[in-house]
Structure 1
Amino acid sequence: MKRNILLCALLLLGIQLQAQEFSKPKEIPVKGNFTNPVASPDGKYALLTQEHNHGVYLLNLTTYDVVPISPNTGIGYGYTWNADSQTFYFKEKGEKEYFSNSKVKSYSIKEKTASEIDLNHNLLPSFNGKNEIVVHTNPFTLQIEATNLKTQKTWLITSNEGQYYNAILSHDGKRVAVHNGPDIWVYNIDGSGKGKLIGQGIATSWSNDDKYLIGFLDESQDGHSISNSEILLFDVENARTKKITSTENQFEMFPSLFGENQVIFSDENSGKIYVSTLKL
């Protein structure tokens, strides 16, 4: 227990505690417990899932209606939006299939229909329907790679030893944020140069101008259950971290930036969804 507390303290030493201006979070009045919200580019919708990535749900951020899209277990991870905000993508497996056999489905909000598309589900998290280049973890080497979907050419991005995960492509497609243990690194998409250590935590979203990453850092006193979690803002250019929430009873996680620096995030303690505005 003391070791875990000491580790958390060490991680927080590099965090500047003066918070950015963060408006008082507004609770989204939805029934049920949800997590991992990902807002559409136009800010009109958000994708949600439930505990253990159970199911995919579509939240209308104007009416607060929640529409169940798929009830299957374990599929609420890695879903992503088309750049037009009218289509989103998620993975789904058959009842007797393994997750490695998952197929990618495209859902049209206008038509209210889902159809299978020809895309490896491992490439899904950085796919927006229009980009030719996607980033992903090689499941065998645990390094981050990029693939050109048009030419099928694949190349290595990370060059250091480690087990990398959760690659997040920048909006301009020139850089990628990756994770290696508790560390967040940013690499050039073409694999040139060395990676840059940005901070520690879990990054979940780039700002529209690609100058910042937003994410969170959770804590555990027993090494198993979460005892707290706060939202962090990472200044990519200066490699500085700022803590932008500080609460005892809320476990803020999975923040997603959209619109004019608006943030949607989940409270893992209550299963509620909140929105706020961040002044960068």
Structure 2
Amino acid sequence: MPVLNLQIGGVIMLKRFVLIYLLLIPLALFGQTRFQVVGEPQRLAGGNGDYFHSPVWSPDGQMIAFTSTNYKGLWTLNVENTSITNLSDEAGVGFGFQWSGDSKDIVSRGTQFENARRLDAVKLFNVESKTEKSLTEYRNKIAGLPQWTSDSRQIYFFNGKSLEFVSSGKLLKADVARPVYFTKYGKIYTQVYPTTLAKSSRIVVDDNCLDVRVSPDGRKISYQVMGGNLFVMNTDGSGTTDLGKGHNARWSPDSEYLVYMIATDDGHDFTGSDLYVSRADGSERVIVTRTDD
């Protein structure tokens, strides 16, 4: 029976503290897929007054990036030697950050306040040199989270009026024309990249959406409806599947599965949280963690 070990990073959100942890999950291919957790979660960061959350694996599997309370600051952890590097202490920079395809950079949105006025800037962090670069000036509240194009040559975001592209500085081969996806006032839009080929955008989902994630093969989109469930659909807007409750979904490398969190709260604090794995078509759903408190 062939077995593939999947490494999944996540967050255990307990009543008293938050831990970054690592699980090894064997994927046994025997007629149908079965998931089984092997061993206990291994603490990688957190505790002793440190509160970390929202871990995201680098595409090459060598690093994990994560943030702290209120999304303040950005850190990386080397999986091989568990060394931790602080890339930034800026407010908001840990919300919705995204790795580049070559695992060398992270793009995010930093925030400053001047006379109670919020100003945002798109930031690029190089994990090798531990340096940061501002790709835009600080401006009045950038509405959208910055994202990479599939060829990593450009970074795009909704600036409150239109989709804006800035160069990442990476000298890579330009991608063929393909759509990019973004949220605009809760609705999911698509637009062709490069923009010289088509500047018009169209609505894919007309709902109050957030956390839009395109699958690695570019064929599907996962998204969450605010106050509602987790959904998967084809990139042309067809074939919508309701996966039920779920937050912070991430795709598996083969675009067949999603790992996501289901959290509970008492209206003030998180009281528990567990990780789930589901097929994109909703045909299989397995709980990965079982927290007691």
Shift, 1:82, TM fit: 0.5
Alignment of 1:97-246 (within 5 A): 98-99=117-118, 101-117=119-135, 122-125=144-147, 129-130=152-153, 133-139=179-185, 142-151=186-195, 152-159=199-206, 162-180=207-225, 181-191=227-237, 193-220=238-265, 222-246=266-290
Shift, 1:147, TM fit: 3.0
> Per chain length, whose mean CA-contact separation is higher, i.e. which structure has more relative contact order (CA < 8 Å, sep 6+)?
1
Secondary structure of residue in 2 paired with 1:52? helix
Shift, 1:135, TM fit: 2.2
Q: Tell me how large the CA RMSD over aligned residues is.
A: 2.6
Shift, 1:95, TM fit: 3.9
- Residue of structure 2 equivalent to 1:265: none
Secondary structure of residue in 1 paired with 2:81? coil
**Equivalent-residue separation in structure 2 for 1:121 and 1:42 (angstroms):** 30
Shift, 1:77, TM fit: 0.5
Secondary structure of residue in 1 paired with 2:76? strand
5+ residue gaps, structure 1: 1-18, 250-280
- Amino acid of the residue matched to residue 235 of structure 2? I
CA offsets, 1:18-61, max 9 Å, x none?
x8212222111567321111110111111111011011112222
TM-score, scaled to structure 2: 0.68
Q: 1:80 to 1:108 in 2, by over 3 A?
A: same
Shift, 1:103, TM fit: 1.7
Identity percentage of aligned residues: 22
Q: 1:118 to 1:156 in 2, by over 3 A?
A: farther
Q: 1:158 to 1:194 in 2, by over 3 A?
A: farther
Q: 1:237 to 1:195 in 2, by over 3 A?
A: closer
- Amino acid of the residue matched to residue 156 of structure 1? I
Which structure carries more helix by proportion? 1
Q: 1:29 to 1:105 in 2, by over 3 A?
A: closer
Q: 1:111 to 1:121 in 2, by over 3 A?
A: farther
Query: How many pairs were matched up?
Result: 224
